[in-house]
């Protein structure tokens, strides 16, 4: 069993209400091998939501109290939302004893190799990726093209 960023299975959970569907992760989801999670939603943020990035460093610095996560336009501090979401995903991963976690790179939550800090893409980790790595979980980064979600009336 694996966890995955919900946007990777085609759920419209990205900050802009769209998705980052990854064909392999979607296939595993359809086979019942992946459980989708969105740390930002679990942390209490809505979808869509204002884009958020790190101010002062990545997740490592946030946990040292040297950086924070802020809304790109508003400057509102969202650090606690991201910490709470990361803690919830970590709880789920531990309860299910997952083999690994597929994460959307560049995300302030799920970035495994890169995140945005003060407007620049840098090598670093998002909050959820950092907590999962610290707990010893295998992280599998993904960076597919985004898809636009459209409202459907049935």
Residue 64: its H or E element: none
The residue-averaged pLDDT of 130-151 equals 82
Residue 26: its H or E element: helix 23-30
| Averaged pLDDT of the chain | 93
- Report d(CA 114, CA 139) in Å as an integer: 13
Give this prediction's pTM.
Answer: 0.93
State the pLDDT at residue 51: 97
101 or 145, higher pLDDT: 101
Biggest alpha carbon distance in the chain?
49
Residues 6+ apart with CB under 8 A from 134: none
Residue 37: its H or E element: strand 34-37
Domain positions in the chain are 2-142
């Amino acid at each position: 069993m694996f966890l995955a960023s919900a946007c990777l299975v085609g759920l419209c959970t990205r900050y802009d209400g769209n998705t980052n569907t990854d064909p392999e992760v979607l296939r595993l989801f359809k086979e019942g091998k992946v459980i989708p999670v969105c740390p930002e939603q679990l942390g209490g943020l809505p979808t869509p939501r204002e884009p958020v990035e790190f101010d002062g460093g990545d997740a490592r610095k946030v946990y040292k109290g040297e950086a924070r996560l802020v809304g790109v336009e508003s400057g509102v501090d969202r650090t606690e939302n991201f910490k709470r979401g990361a803690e919830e995903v970590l709880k789920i991963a531990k309860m299910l004893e997952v083999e690994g976690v597929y994460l959307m790179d560049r995300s302030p939550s799920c970035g495994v190799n890169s995140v945005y800090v003060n407007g620049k893409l840098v090598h670093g980790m998002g909050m959820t990726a950092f907590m999962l790595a610290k707990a010893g979980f295998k992280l599998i980064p993904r960076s597919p093209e985004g898809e636009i979600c459209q409202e459907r009336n049935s």
